[in-house]
Amino acid sequence: MQNHHRFEHQNSLINSSGDLGFQFSFAFQPIVDVRHRGIISFEALVRGPHGECSASVFSQVHKNDILRFDEMCRRKAIHLASRLNIPNRLNLNLAAQSIYEVDMSITATFQASIQSGIPAENIIFEVLESESLTEQKNLIEYLRLIQEFGFDTAIDDFGAGYSGLKLLTEYQPYYIKLDRHLIGNIHEDFVKQRIFSGVRKICDSLSIEIVAEGVENVGEYRWLNEAGISIFQGYYFARPAFEALPDVANKVFCT
């Protein structure tokens, strides 16, 4: 993987101070496919200008700027990923508040993908599962609009809320990312195992891929892999790297 170089900080820093009054950048965490023993995508995670946690950035966003901030994040993450020569796909988060304004900002994201050289089909929008998502009658229309631009979609933190199954009855994303609450110590928890089995049967019948997100130890990985999961994300494979694309140690695939 071509990911050991970093930019000079002043060149790689994503500066939004002219628009929002503060600076932010990104870390990238790999999503791996153990079947093919490699990284298939990187998720862009917002960070402070020196790698500070996302909470320190979100705390500076005024409520009236949430939509603009969210759209700026996508554009700037795309450009940084391009400058890092990302070799595969890129996962971008879409705030729940933004899903209903997506027709106003999706064009800017699409233009950023063209300018950066990262084709739309290599970008996946992650929509956070939220009970409020299914309360809006136009949700499905907006998700399909995203796909019409050539982007793929995923439901993030599936199982954290109460709307995931209801959403699947009307819309099938590219994949779902299981919430860490369901993944944590699943190898030791019979109830979690039964819930997982039910979700997997549903996704298999709908041809929806499952990503096990937040995998932190070998026990979780082994159980999920034996249960048929092959796509993973979490500290067990690699921690997010600030303004860099981290490798996944080969020993992980041999565990």
46-102 pLDDT per residue, tens: 999 999 999 999 899 888 888 888 888 999 999 999 999 999 999 998 876 666 666
Task: Say if CB 211 and CB 31 are below 8 A apart.
Answer: yes
φ/ψ (deg, to 5) at 157: 55, 40
What pLDDT score does 188 carry? 96
Tokens, residue 76: 């700037």
Rounded Cα distance between 46 and 27, Å, is: 6
Banded pLDDT at 18 (limits 50, 70, 90): very low
What pLDDT score does 95 carry? 72
Helix and strand element counts for the chain (H, E): 11, 9
What pLDDT score does 97 carry? 66
- Is the pLDDT score of 133 beyond 70? no
Tokens, residue 168: 């699947």
Please count the other Cβ atoms lying within 10 Å of the Cβ belonging to residue 132: 14
Of 245, 252, 253, nearest to 45 by C-alpha is 245
Give me the percent of the chain exceeding a pLDDT of 90: 51
Which homologous superfamily is 24-249 in? EAL domain (3.20.20.450)
Banded pLDDT at 4 (limits 50, 70, 90): very low
Mean pLDDT of 181-207: 93
Extents of the domains making up the chain: 24-249
Q: What angle do CA 48, 83, 8 make, to 5 degrees?
A: 60
Task: Say if CB 125 and CB 147 are below 8 A apart.
Answer: no
Give me the percent of the chain exceeding a pLDDT of 70: 80
